[in-house]
Amino acid sequence: MKLNLGRNIPASIVVFLVALPLCMGVAMASGASVIQGILSGVIGGTVVGMLSGSHVSVSGPAAGLIVIVESAFLDLKQVDASNYLELFALVVFLAGIIQLLLGIVKLGNIADFIPVSVIKGMLAAIGIILILKQIPHLVGYDNDAIGEAEFFQKDGHNTFTELYYAFISITPLALIIGILGVFIQIFWDSKLMKNQNWKTYLPAPLIVVVAGVGINLASNSFFPDLTIQASHLVNIPSFGSATGSGFLGGFFQNFHTPFWMGISMPIIWKMAFVIAIIASIESLLSLEAGDKIDPQKRIAPPNRELFAQGVGNMLAGLIGALPITAVIVRTSANVNSGSTNRYSAIFHGFWLLLFVLFFPHVINLIPLSALASILIFVGYKLAKPALFKEQYHRGLNAFWPFLFTIVVILLTDLLVGITIGMVVGYMFVLRENYRESLTVVNEGQDFLFRFHSQTSFMSKSVLKKKLELVHPNGSVIFDFSNNVFVDNDLLDMIGDFQEYSQLQNINVQFKFHDDVQKERIFKRL
């Protein structure tokens, strides 16, 4: 595989700038330390990136696990308050082993049973959530963590009421930086810049961050009253000494190794299975979604992805990091920035480690509104109006599952939305099967029942109602010539009708495409 540094290095910088606030935000929203979130991002980028078979997928801590991690912390504190972080590390390690085993026994094809319209609904919902959740940070209102994605928030507000409080608490310079960041990305993405090859080496998110830092520093010199307060800047703790060793001096002090004595506790295994299953489902969904948006339409092996995620979570557990999944937001940023293979994901993990170790003071100059503008543009790419139009034109059987998935994810969470979307999708499948698997034509008392390729038990009601319309001395033709499968329930009904027809002088005939089919059908009647 070619590195193609010309595209993958800039793409990795974009993913790094998207991943940084999300790693921090997910950790803070979960009740964990910022370092735990960033360590997960490092492992997700480097280790999972190298082991995964996906060319575009990017892994790290995910918003979908926030509630589960937060709940696990609370429960483990009740079990052993002094070792709850080490017990949670054991949970993550065991979850990784379970995922690894799931990959080995080849249970990675779960996402194949999810309709495409639901996958696209998930993408659109995540995009809308990004936009709605980042608008408060864009205007300088930071009451909730920048990576938080829940509808009902810890401050008592919800996604929509938060917008109201944000717009009555605007920080002028934050708003200027945020809006400028959005316009820079729109300009970089415009037709005017389309053929400018040099922009590959200067990705828009990097320009947005540099501009945001520069404006705030200039304000500090010329308009100090407008300068953004430290609470609206990135805040990565430095654990080094006063000599400037950065994060390295206290780096290993922030690791939490598993408390192995807890392996006999049922609650540990219960949590491990919950995290393993939910993280696996979210990873497979993100993998499937990544394949959909990959310009080269490459298909990633799902069992290898489970194996890679399992190894990643085992390592995360060994050092006390948060659980890891494939994450569609980072994957989307990776694709949209022109990445050609997995090296951009791997490099982004190294950038996270490098800057947090040695340059936290540089990262801490970045206004959150600049990062929010980047995430909003990623959200727009995921939820473009064209996507809604495309799903609508595909028909209601695609549009309704798509729309239900979006609405439920917005109001609840990712997995509930996917589940409801699947239920709605399968309802339409059953409806279409009900309508199209059996055609009935009649003229007077002459009836033709034409069985299509696949005729399931869903057609029982139609068959029963139409057979009841056949009067004595009528005629019925059962046409199986185009049929491959017919459910036994229908054949039982036809067999009963045959007996009834002999008593009512009804002429019954059968049509088959060959003698083999005729023999097979009659054996089952």
β-strands 475-479, 507-511: how paired?
parallel
Q: Please provide the average confidence, as pLDDT, over all residues in the chain.
A: 90
Does residue 22 contact residue 329 with C-beta atoms inside 8 Å? yes
Cα 320 from Cα 151, distance rounded (Å): 28
Does residue 322 contact residue 68 with C-beta atoms inside 8 Å? no
Provide the H-helix boundaries in 224-367: 266-293, 302-319, 328-336, 343-358, 360-363
Token pair of 301, please? 């092996």
**Cβ neighbour number for residue 66 with a 10 Å cutoff:** 25
Cα 64 from Cα 303, distance rounded (Å): 21
Token pair of 312, please? 């990643």
**Cβ neighbour number for residue 162 with a 10 Å cutoff:** 21
Cα 486 from Cα 434, distance rounded (Å): 13
Check: pTM over 0.85? Answer yes or no: no
Q: What kind of architecture, by CATH, is found in domain 438-524?
A: 2-Layer Sandwich (3.30)
Cα 370 from Cα 185, distance rounded (Å): 11
**Cβ neighbour number for residue 506 with a 10 Å cutoff:** 20
Q: What pLDDT is recorded for position 242?
A: 42
Q: What pLDDT is recorded for position 128?
A: 95
Residue spans per domain, the chain = 5-423, 438-524
Q: Is the pLDDT of residue 246 over 50?
A: no
Cα 237 from Cα 251, distance rounded (Å): 11
Sign of CA dihedral 468, 469, 474, 477: negative
Nearest to 227 by CA among 167, 180, 177: 177
Cα dihedral: 345, 351, 357, 359 (round 10):
-160
Q: Is the pLDDT of residue 405 over 50?
A: yes
Q: What pLDDT is recorded for position 340?
A: 84
Q: Is the pLDDT of residue 165 over 80?
A: yes
**At a CB cut-off of 8 Å and minimum separation 6, what does 504 contact?**
471, 472, 473
Q: pLDDT band at 245, cuts 50/70/90?
A: very low
CA distances (Å), 8 to each of 115, 335, 464, in order? 31, 10, 62
- The residue length of the chain stands at 525
User: What's the mean pLDDT in 72-93?
Assistant: 95
Question: How do residues 169-224 score in pLDDT, each as one tens digit?
Answer: 999 999 999 999 999 999 999 988 877 777 777 899 999 999 999 999 999 999 89
Does residue 476 contact residue 500 with C-beta atoms inside 8 Å? no
Q: Which residues of 111-123 are buried (b: 16+ CB within 10 A; e: fewer)?
A: beebbebbbbbbb
Question: How do residues 421-437 score in pLDDT, each as one tens digit?
Answer: 999 988 887 776 666 68
Cα 507 from Cα 511, distance rounded (Å): 14
Burial class (CB in 10 A: 0-12, 13-18, 19+), 231: exposed
Q: How remote is the C-alpha of 202 from its chain's centroid?
A: 28
